[in-house]
Amino acid sequence: MDDDKIVELFFARKEQAVRELSDKYGAVFRKVADNILNDRLDSEECVNDAYLAVWNTIPPKKPDSLVSYVCRIVRNLALKKYHEKTAQKRNSHYDVALEELADCLPSPVSVEDEISANELAEMVNRFLGTLGQRDRVMFVRRYWHADSLDELAALLHRSKHYISVRLSRIRKALRKYLIKEGIAL
């Protein structure tokens, strides 16, 4: 069933909407949550909570991209659970992905002092628009979906070393871009 039909089911308040959404994208949503949480049960809980959130927000919202809309909800719920469970602990591959970006993004305090989070996000989006498709996919899959280097290597049919080097170069380019845009790092 196409996304518009699923959204129509939500607007009609039919429970079939959740089943159709789950059938079509459930694996994607679980992957997003599991990449952050590394726990099947917690991931399932986040995905189920996301279905409830979608049920409660459609209507009145009518998302342009249903999968992106729900992925954002799943990701936000997974991040919230991640922070609750790991206040002082370390979750290997998700923390590593975040640490990789730490050198090219300003700290939260300086972002509040110098520029709003929305403006920073817009700058990052503009930077991503300057990248080729493969680099853009690599960056988003690593830092939004939290895919591991091994997963990216398999997805893009490249070596893990190649992925690591490309991501390092993209982060350096992002850092230079943000500095050029006047962001203090």
Distance set, CA 57 to CA 46, 54, 64, 84 (Å): 16, 5, 14, 24
pLDDT at 82: 86
Residue 185: inside a domain: no
Beta strands in 18-81 (DSSP E): none
Looking at residue 152, its pLDDT comes to: 93
* Domain stop point among 49, 64, 85: 85
Classify 77 as helix, strand or coil.
helix
Q: What is the pLDDT of residues 11-65, one digit of tens each?
A: 999 999 999 999 999 999 999 999 889 889 999 999 999 999 999 999 888 998 9
User: Do residue 16 and residue 39 come from a single domain?
Assistant: yes
> Which has more pLDDT, 119 or 125?
125
Report the 10 Å Cβ neighbour count for 166. Answer: 18
Q: Which residues contact 148 (CB under 8 A, 6 or more apart)?
A: 35, 93
- Give how far Cα 41 sits from Cα of 21, 36, 67, 110, 117, Å: 19, 13, 21, 36, 32
pTM of the entire structure? Answer: 0.66
Q: Which domain holds residue 66?
A: 3-85
pLDDT of residue 110: 45
Residue where a domain terminates, one of 54, 85, 116 = 85
Residues 70, 132, single domain; the answer is no
